[in-house]
Structure 1
Amino acid sequence: MGEISIKINIADRVYPLKVNMEEEEIIRRAAKLINDRIKEYQENYAVRDKQDLLSMCVLHYATSTLKAEKKVTVEDTEVTEKVYQLDHLLNEFFSK
């Protein structure tokens, strides 16, 4: 899986990148999400400065990432607790 050169357009600026072939689709989809979010902010808010729009996008995606990480942590904790309870029940059952 080699590297390829691609050009990504974000907020009307082109960024040449070298990426692994298997990452290309994800990177292109990410750029599309960012551009769609910028367009949404332009249409719904009186913001035209690209730097402000990009900052709003970064805040949106960073917040989403932190929420997802918190959810995973909570779910991991719940699964760990369930496994502990099951282990305890099995130990009780087999020790009789």
Structure 2
Amino acid sequence: MGEISIKINIADRVYPLRVNMEEEEVIRRAAKIINDRIKEYQDNYAVRDKQDLLSMCVLHYATATLKAEKKRVDEDTEVADKVYQLDQMLDNFFSK
């Protein structure tokens, strides 16, 4: 599919972007999630500076990304261990 031009509003600033048509919905949802998080920080903390709110938002999502990545690596390691154990059991069974 082709590229389209869209405008995304994040923290009261408009960003013109060229994106693939199939990415548009994801990008718009991401911008909404970011704006919702910024509003939450604005409502719950005495922070009004947009730069500080954006920094808090970035920290939140970077932390969440790292946690998800670590969880995936841990789960991959666990699956690999179980596959290894199963392989050993099958080797023992068939070598008798």
- Once the two structures are superposed, the pairs formed by residues 18-57 of structure 1 within 5 Å of their partners are 18-57=18-57
- % same residue: 85
**What SS class does the counterpart of residue 47 from structure 2 fall into?**
coil
User: Hey, what's the Cα distance between the residues in 1 that align with 2:20 and 2:79?
Assistant: 34
Partner of 2:10: 10
Instruction: Give me the TM-score of the superposition, normalised by structure 2.
Output: 0.99
> Can you list the C-alpha shifts for 1:40-86, whole angstroms capped at 9, x where unaligned?
00000000000000000000000000000000000000000000000
Partner of 1:85: 85
User: Hey, what's the Cα distance between the residues in 1 that align with 2:95 and 2:2?
Assistant: 56
Q: Which runs of 5+ in 2 are unaligned?
A: none
**What SS class does the counterpart of residue 7 from structure 1 fall into?**
strand
Q: Which runs of 5+ in 1 are unaligned?
A: none
How much is the aligned-residue C-alpha RMSD, in angstroms? 0.4
> Can you list the C-alpha shifts for 1:16-57, whole angstroms capped at 9, x where unaligned?
000011111110010000000000000000000000000000
Instruction: Give me the TM-score of the superposition, normalised by structure 1.
Output: 0.99
